[in-house]
Amino acid sequence: MGSYKIAVLPGDGIGPEVVAEAVKVLSIVGKKFHHSFDLRYADFGGAAIDSSGVPFPPATQDVCMSSDAVLFGAVGGPKWDTLDPAIRPEKGLLALRKAAGAFANLRPAKLFSELADACYLRPDIVANGIDILVVRELIGDVYFGEPSGIEVRDGERVGFSNMIYAEHEIRRVAEVAFETAMKRGKRLCSVDKANVLAVSRLWREVVTEVAKGYPEVELSHMYVDNAAMQLVRNPAAFDVIVTGNLFGDILSDEAAAITGSIGMLPSASVGGANTPGLYEPVHGSAPDIAGQNLANPVATILSLAMLLRYSLNLSAEADAVEAAVAAVLAAGYRTGDIYRDGMKRVGCTEMGQLIADRV
Ligand code: NAD
Ligand code: IPM
Ligand code: MN
């Protein structure tokens, strides 16, 4: 029996809808396993811009940093797209990740056998399943590199962003990737663009140095364009992928799609010293389906399972949540994004309830 503080940031669009379902599941976990979860809700993203003018207000930062973990939905939407980039919802998310020092973003892309029919790839390509972990560096790269901006040079506008990594930033995320590979299939593929980019040549050098400490892990290097192709051509060839912030953003959406839907993919962002882990679905605020009870809450519910496992050390509880998700899929329930003929179509709230009932 434990007592835990969880910061809950619903955010925008479908964020509040999917977070509400994860909270439903969490309260059942609390009852079944006799834990008390102190849920501390805070404004974030567009919702925070509306209430206080900035996407990541100091009060929200205080709530996050004094919690054991942060559960987050999604931010952004057309309403805020024309604002000054410095105060847009997405900037708040980058600031949260930076404040938490969360340099390692773990994005597991697993094809549930029950969902093989929702996969976009040919059955023979996925016959052996898909089980990939993308380790994406999260607080460096072109996302944060300076200088960056738009300015007039020689009478025309010039836009620039700086893709930059210091070796300590590469080393620490590589170490996380090797450690995780040791606990899985012991195969690590480092993805870069070293044939063109200087920053990638350093990336490859540092990852190769870190590999010396992990002789049991089979390390390979792949250019990002080829990796994008191999992910759909032969996804079973991958175990753990480690890559930078921008390449990881793109490849993890691709990995999500090959497992059926981006509505299925959870993530954990960790690495900070004495800061909480951040747990969020890989998808965004999906303005096209917001407010219609259409969103798939599974990515957020699986993110909650990662929170229980990694930040609270509650692995039996995490197992119970994951098993409940698998049981509901096995029983044929599907939200629209993973629906196929003959299945039972349900909305976001029904899906959340079905999973909560099976914990
Ligand atoms: P998106 O992930 O929000 O949506 C892409 C497509 O996937 C849409 O068709 C959407 O309906 C669908 N989708 C996403 N999540 C789903 C779910 N749970 N269930 C069913 N279908 C789902 O990406 P986008 O449309 O490029 O971005 C929309 C907004 O979200 C933008 O403002 C963007 O900046 C923001 N965004 C935020 C995050 C985040 O908060 N972590 C991540 C990505 C995008
Ligand atoms: C994600 C999103 C974010 C990112 C955006 C919204 C800042 O796409 O979490 O994958 O690029 O990291
Ligand atoms: Mn993304």
Flag whether pLDDT at 164 surpasses 90: yes
Asked if domains 1-100+275-359 and 103-261 share a fold, the reply is yes
Ligand at shortest distance from the CA of 90: 2
pLDDT at 163: 98
Residue 48: which residues within 8 A CB-CB, separation 6 or more?
54, 55, 56, 57, 60, 92
CA dihedral angle for residue 274, residue 276, residue 282, residue 286, rounded to 10 degrees: -140
Of 249, 278, 280, best ligand 2 pocket probe by most atoms within 8 Å of the beta carbon: 249
pLDDT at 239: 97
Over residues 230-238, mean pLDDT: 95
ipTM (interface predicted TM): 0.98
pLDDT at 310: 96
Residue 137: which residues within 8 A CB-CB, separation 6 or more?
103, 104, 105, 165, 169, 170, 173, 242, 243, 244, 245, 248
For 266, the token pair is 């959870």
pLDDT tier for residue 257 given thresholds of 50, 70 and 90:
confident
Over residues 267-285, mean pLDDT: 96
pLDDT at 261: 92
19 lines ligand 1 (CB under 6 A): no
Share of the chain above pLDDT 70, in %: 100
The answer to whether the CB of 340 falls within 8 A of the CB of 61 is no
Highest mean pLDDT among 41-45, 113-117, 128-132: 41-45
pLDDT tier for residue 256 given thresholds of 50, 70 and 90:
confident
284 lines ligand 1 (CB under 6 A): yes
Q: Give residue 2's region: left, alpha or beta (phi > 0; psi -120 to 50).
A: beta
Active centre residues (catalytic): 143, 193, 225, 249, 253
CA 90 and chain centroid, separation = 14
The pTM of this model reads: 0.96
Q: Give the atom of ligand 2 at the shortest distance from the alpha carbon of 267.
A: 9
304 lines ligand 1 (CB under 6 A): no
pLDDT at 39: 98
| 303 Cα to the center of ligand 3, angstroms | 15
Which residue's CA is minimally distant from atom 8 of ligand 2? Answer: 249
pLDDT tens column, 297-321: 999 999 999 999 999 999 999 999 9
Architecture of 1-100+275-359 per CATH? 3-Layer(aba) Sandwich (3.40)
pLDDT at 260: 87
Tell me, which fold does domain 103-261 have in CATH? Isopropylmalate Dehydrogenase (3.40.718)
| 36 Cα to the center of ligand 2, angstroms | 31
pLDDT tier for residue 115 given thresholds of 50, 70 and 90:
confident
pLDDT at 253: 92
pLDDT at 114: 84
What are the strands, taking DSSP E only, across 154-307?
A: 156-160, 187-192, 218-223, 240-243, 266-270, 277-281
Quickly tell me which residue has 């054991």 as its tokens: 68
Ordered DSSP codes for 191-215:
EE-TTT-HHHHHHHHHHHHHHTT-T
Domain boundaries defined on the chain: 1-100+275-359, 103-261
Polymer length in residues for the chain: 359
pLDDT at 259: 87
